[in-house]
Structure 1
Amino acid sequence: MRRRILSSAVTLSVVAATLVVTQSASSADSTTAADATAHDYVVLYEPGTAETDARAAIQAAGGTVVSSNTEVGYALVRSAAAGFAQAADASPALVGAARNRSIGKAPAEVRADADAVERLTEAERAAAAAAPRTTLGKAAKGTGDPLSPLQWDMAAIRATPAGSYATEKGSKKVTVGIIDTGVDGSHPDIAPNFDAAASRNFTTDMPDIDGVCEVASCVDPADVDDDGHGTHVASTIGSPLNGIGVAGVAPEVHLVNIRAGQDSGYFFLQPTLDALTYAGDAGVDVVNMSFYVDPWLFNCTANPADSPAEQQEQRIVVEATQRALDYARSKGVLPVSASGNEATDLGVPGVDASSPDYPVDAEGDPIAARERTIDNSTCLSVPAESDGVVTVNSTGPSGRKAYYSNYGTEQSDVSAPGGDAYDTANGRLDPKALVLAAYPQHLAVANGDVDAAGVPTNPMVVRDCDGDVCGYYQYLQGTSMAAPHAAGVAALIVSRYGTKDPAHPGTLTLAPSVTEQVLLGTATDVPCPVPAQFTYRRVSATAGVVTSTATCAGPADDNGFYGQGVVDALSAVS
């Protein structure tokens, strides 16, 4: 699972027909001293509050509306008033205000820790590079795309030519939205199914955390991914059967980039709310969400370790995200989320020592993560524990719950392949136990994973060519990789059973409740291991043998490790 959602800089993208944009009091050409100390906030309206009344309350508190979303009931507000947040919190027309852009530079180790599971640690990558190379085998004609032999994940859910492809490959009348770090629409194994015109970028690059902007406006085109995470997710969902590289769960489905993640992997509140609203208005059928809300791993409504301002911020994140999810679902969108990579029982989360992971306080001053005792009844991981979301755990090649995957009897809906580098016969790392999917070429070069001749430099990256057209693919693991398998199966379900969508002519639709019912109901039941306390054994090149445990609870048809089972593409469309 790729982190985050807190709140971000102003986006110049058009959100949707329902987004009302109002210019701030001062323009970029007439910056004043007050502007230099102004902050941006997401202000949530009380339910039923009229837009005019909300704007009046914001103005009275000392804020200026930059943009607003009348459907969900929030505004992006700028204010230089020292007591703006407190005044907004006190207004009867407003739920309150949460800082939208935290000013400060996230230390490199924060991002490195978050990437350690998905991309492996530097030591693990070095160990993989030192291991003997294996000869790359390619699929025989008619048995999938060339790299299908490396896609154990697709075989595990029967998304293969002999499985679901024979019945349903997906439809261009069905759209899956990837709410992530972007999608490389030029990748040869994504381009045939990618709709650049319908794609949107709701983020603005922030040099203090994202590095130098790639374009002058700092707003990347909607077919760019400078992180690689979103491209991997999109590929798993819908890479076409086109004679190159890999194939996705739904190889003929329509893919749309609805970017809400920064290059650095942080997901802030306002772009995420905008992305969910856009998904509902644009006729998207399924959205994949492989992130959580920054800076809090758990958003707690009244944790005594947090200040009143921090408590209010977390309450607003929970409520605002829930409203946006409800809106999207009311428009026919099924939200699918990763459960997280902390190896935590979400029903008994215990202590959180990683929050806040973005090192600033409510006033923008640097702070460090601190230890908080998490109360399951008042703390939520958003969006994984939000209502109306299908939450997905991760499995490895053997079918076991992945060592890093979160779990929990209340929180787990289904499971899907997400990779487990140590799910091998001897417990030693094997890159092929991860999930292989598309990798933007420019990132592969920039990261040193491909040399000047275009040849991969390590076993974490694979190249496949069709004539002079080459695609690059990387091995990743995580619940971020599990969720798109479930989202892809959901897209197959809409393709198979959907009906004409009167709101969006030429497309199909299916009530999210029906899609969810079929997705969960056709998943393959997997019982808890015996004994229920499972011990993971990982043989590390640097640390030796490492063990950890996780305890499964519940019956075979609905338990904490697997939810209602591992998704099954063939059963879902049969």
Structure 2
Amino acid sequence: MSGSLVTASPAPRAGETAVAAQSGDYLVFYAQGRQREALRAVEAGGGSARGADARLGYVIARGAGPAFAERVGADPSVVGVTANRRVGSAAALTSAQWATAPEALPILPVAAGTSGDTAASAQVSSKAFTGTAAGEPLAGRQWDMRMIGADARGSYAKARGTKKVLVGIIDTGVDGSHPDIAANFDRARSRNFVVDRPRDPNGKTLDGPCEYKNCKDPADVDDDGHGTHVAGTIGAPINGIGMAGVAPGVGLVNIRAGMDSGFFFLKPVLDALTYAGDAGVDVVNMSFFVDPWTFNCAANPADSRAEQLQQAGIVTGVQRALDYARAHGVTLISALGNESTDLGHPLVDDTSPGYPEGTERKRTIDNSCINVPAESRGVISVSAIGPSKRKAWYSDYGNEQTDLAAPGGDSTDTGTSLKGVAREILGPAPKRALRAQKLIDAAGRPSTSSVVRECHHGSCAYWQYLSGTSMASPHAAGVAAILVARFGKPGKGGLTLAPAKVEKLLYATARHTACPATGSTRYPATEETHLCVGSAAKNGFYGHGIVDAYRAATAKG
């Protein structure tokens, strides 16, 4: 979610230390085939190896702060050293022991369970309503689906997807009990790769109280709401409740890598991506950037050597995980970002590092600094547009970086008859997240127009308007799922389609959209002007075009 959800006034955040100030765990990334040298470098630097993953080429090491990172990073076998929060404990091994020990740590399953608000008034049985393609109760609020032809008159009549196609939501979690999620939620394959932290090392509230044993939420919980909204846009079922997603027949897999506080740190992201590849997931949606750096610069002179090594580790580690997932059949979709920045010509990053709170500083940057994963190789990155198809004011852009555009909402878009929050994107919301955010009162009544309540037979559920490139990319993920369902071949227990083929089809079925006639867009609300460069076939605002579910549902392969 970091950097991908637009709010009126972002709250200060706290999370992992940008570079640990004391002893802690580090991910030491080594050059191909040089694990043993990296292990020796860890020992020589005064640290100890505690785990490893040969798939992505890193060692988990315990060492004493930035000085340790700099010593290890000086070894030619090492390409990055990134601080990592310690999640468990493991015995230290010498390099000689690690030479014969298993290198890949197992991916441990999360115990199955139910979650969410268990009060009868908060539950709606998805089996109680059959629904039809004639339109869901909240379909009238879904300008975004009508724009891309995902509705009763469009793609729903042609192709809705199938549960043989799995879409992974790498996010803050998914409320698997929500009635507009439950029918398509794959609980057995869902995983949670983070542990809640009630407070940060400075004693400030981070994730809030622990609700479950060992502070690890079950794999069907979303205390933030962001991931549930994303999941609904992708695949909310047609069931007579609420709304429907782009691909209302697909399987939804929660692959949680984000904390309740909205932070996405490196190790959980690596675990989520490798799991997606191993579990047979077809498409993943990534509406986040990897914390704590908005832009990762390998050699920015404003950064310390330890900070440079940390950013190099993030770039290297995530790229390796993306490559692994893609090689295992996963199509990678990412939100482009909400910094209102031309990513081809970035000038300033004043939001990094995002942790600890108050450590942000202004850095002069250039195009060698990248947002991860949006600017990583093999990723399809999506910009956001409003209801008039104008590029959203907050959306990042860039001729090299923008691959596709999709509805993300824009409350400042006056080129439409819609008013206020109706210009944003509606999606499912967990009741207890809304309660925690004080968006509903004690009786369950919405306290803001951004929340919609729908009740059936005395049971109520909730949907919420949000905007951001986080809301745009799941539209593309849903269209990708339709393409896999139509053209995929049997494999891994379901259907599979090479990511390169999915990408080609996505671009071919998108609707080319030219830059504004003036070549730029002026945003009176922010007093900014964004320049669009490129042709109708490929430009910095819309990439290859606006995704189109109907064209994907009817195209010939």
Q: In which range does the TM-score fall when normalised by the shorter chain?
A: 0.7 to 0.9
Per-residue deviation, 1:73: 1.2
* Contact 1:500–1:508, Cα closer than 8 Å, also in 2: yes
Aligned runs of 1:219-230 on 2, under 5 Å? 219-230=216-227
* Contact 1:422–1:428, Cα closer than 8 Å, also in 2: no
RMSD, matched Cα:
2.4
User: Aligned partner of 1:101: which letter?
Assistant: R
Per-residue deviation, 1:430: 0.6
Q: CA 1:573 to 1:425, structure 2 compared with 1: closer, same or farther past 3 Å? A: closer
2:427 matches 1:443: no
Distance across 1 between alignment mates of 2:15 and 2:438: 32
Residue 433 (structure 1) aligns with: 423
2:437 matches 1:457: no
Residue 252 (structure 1) aligns with: 249
Deviations 1:18-43 (A, max 9, x none): xxxxxxxxxxxxxxxxxx95311111
Aligned runs of 1:31-180 on 2, under 5 Å? 38-50=23-35, 54-80=38-64, 83-101=67-85, 142-180=133-171
Per-residue deviation, 1:467: 2.4
* Contact 1:40–1:76, Cα closer than 8 Å, also in 2: yes
Deviations 1:255-295 (A, max 9, x none): 01111111111110011011100000001111101111222
* Contact 2:14–2:355, Cα closer than 8 Å, also in 1: no
Q: CA 1:289 to 1:512, structure 2 compared with 1: closer, same or farther past 3 Å? A: same
Residue 553 (structure 2) aligns with: 573
Q: Which stretch has the larger CA shift, 315-324 or 206-215?
A: 206-215
**Secondary structure class of the residue paired with 1:210:** coil
User: Aligned partner of 1:509: which letter?
Assistant: T
Distance across 2 between alignment mates of 1:186 and 1:8: 30
Residue 115 (structure 2) aligns with: none
Per-residue deviation, 1:49: 2.7
2:298 matches 1:295: no
Q: Which stretch has the larger CA shift, 434-443 or 466-475?
A: 466-475
Aligned runs of 1:170-569 on 2, under 5 Å? 170-207=161-198, 208=200, 209-359=206-356, 368-376=359-367, 378-425=368-415, 430-501=420-491, 504-505=492-493, 507-538=494-525, 546-569=526-549
Deviations 1:512-535 (A, max 9, x none): 000011011110011111211211
* Contact 1:205–1:213, Cα closer than 8 Å, also in 2: yes
Identity level (%)? 55
User: Aligned partner of 1:193: which letter?
Assistant: N
* Contact 2:296–2:312, Cα closer than 8 Å, also in 1: yes
Distance across 2 between alignment mates of 1:338 and 1:428: 24
Distance across 1 between alignment mates of 2:210 and 2:445: 28
Deviations 1:360-400 (A, max 9, x none): 7xxxxxx6322211111x21111110000000000101111
Per-residue deviation, 1:222: 0.9
Residue 100 (structure 2) aligns with: none
Distance across 2 between alignment mates of 1:221 and 1:193: 17
* Contact 1:227–1:264, Cα closer than 8 Å, also in 2: yes
Deviations 1:189-233 (A, max 9, x none): 101111111111111112222222222301111111111111110
Q: Which stretch has the larger CA shift, 507-516 or 292-301?
A: 292-301
Q: CA 1:342 to 1:3, structure 2 compared with 1: closer, same or farther past 3 Å? A: closer
Residue 112 (structure 1) aligns with: none
Distance across 2 between alignment mates of 1:182 and 1:518: 29
Per-residue deviation, 1:426: 8.3
Q: Which stretch has the larger CA shift, 272-281 or 86-95?
A: 86-95
User: Aligned partner of 2:186: which letter?
Assistant: D
Q: CA 1:142 to 1:81, structure 2 compared with 1: closer, same or farther past 3 Å? A: closer
* Contact 1:424–1:430, Cα closer than 8 Å, also in 2: no
Distance across 2 between alignment mates of 1:567 and 1:426: 20
* Contact 1:6–1:317, Cα closer than 8 Å, also in 2: no
**Secondary structure class of the residue paired with 2:389:** coil
**Secondary structure class of the residue paired with 1:182:** coil
**Secondary structure class of the residue paired with 2:340:** coil
Distance across 1 between alignment mates of 2:330 and 2:292: 26
Q: CA 1:527 to 1:344, structure 2 compared with 1: closer, same or farther past 3 Å? A: same
Unpaired runs of at least 5, structure 1: 10-35, 104-139, 361-366, 539-545
**Secondary structure class of the residue paired with 2:152:** coil
Q: CA 1:446 to 1:407, structure 2 compared with 1: closer, same or farther past 3 Å? A: same
Distance across 2 between alignment mates of 1:48 and 1:7: 33
* Contact 2:391–2:541, Cα closer than 8 Å, also in 1: yes
Q: CA 1:569 to 1:428, structure 2 compared with 1: closer, same or farther past 3 Å? A: closer
User: Aligned partner of 1:42: which letter?
Assistant: L
Per-residue deviation, 1:177: 0.5
Q: CA 1:159 to 1:84, structure 2 compared with 1: closer, same or farther past 3 Å? A: same
Distance across 2 between alignment mates of 1:446 and 1:44: 39
2:6 matches 1:3: no
Q: CA 1:301 to 1:93, structure 2 compared with 1: closer, same or farther past 3 Å? A: closer
Distance across 2 between alignment mates of 1:158 and 1:407: 24
Per-residue deviation, 1:429: 5.9
* Contact 2:344–2:400, Cα closer than 8 Å, also in 1: yes
Distance across 1 between alignment mates of 2:14 and 2:281: 23
User: Aligned partner of 2:3: which letter?
Assistant: R
Per-residue deviation, 1:82: 7.0
Q: CA 1:264 to 1:427, structure 2 compared with 1: closer, same or farther past 3 Å? A: farther
Unpaired runs of at least 5, structure 2: 5-12, 88-130, 201-205
Q: Which stretch has the larger CA shift, 212-221 or 273-282?
A: 212-221
Q: CA 1:67 to 1:7, structure 2 compared with 1: closer, same or farther past 3 Å? A: farther
Residue 16 (structure 1) aligns with: none
Per-residue deviation, 1:69: 1.7
* Contact 1:173–1:495, Cα closer than 8 Å, also in 2: yes
* Contact 1:422–1:429, Cα closer than 8 Å, also in 2: no
Distance across 1 between alignment mates of 2:227 and 2:69: 34
* Contact 1:7–1:270, Cα closer than 8 Å, also in 2: no
* Contact 2:169–2:227, Cα closer than 8 Å, also in 1: yes
Per-residue deviation, 1:72: 1.1
Per-residue deviation, 1:443: 1.3
Distance across 1 between alignment mates of 2:142 and 2:50: 46
* Contact 1:394–1:402, Cα closer than 8 Å, also in 2: yes
Per-residue deviation, 1:553: 1.0
Q: CA 1:92 to 1:345, structure 2 compared with 1: closer, same or farther past 3 Å? A: closer
Q: Which stretch has the larger CA shift, 443-452 or 402-411?
A: 443-452
**Secondary structure class of the residue paired with 1:79:** strand
**Secondary structure class of the residue paired with 1:77:** strand
User: Aligned partner of 2:28: which letter?
Assistant: V
Residue 120 (structure 1) aligns with: none
Distance across 2 between alignment mates of 1:90 and 1:310: 13
Q: CA 1:47 to 1:8, structure 2 compared with 1: closer, same or farther past 3 Å? A: farther
User: Aligned partner of 1:158: which letter?
Assistant: G
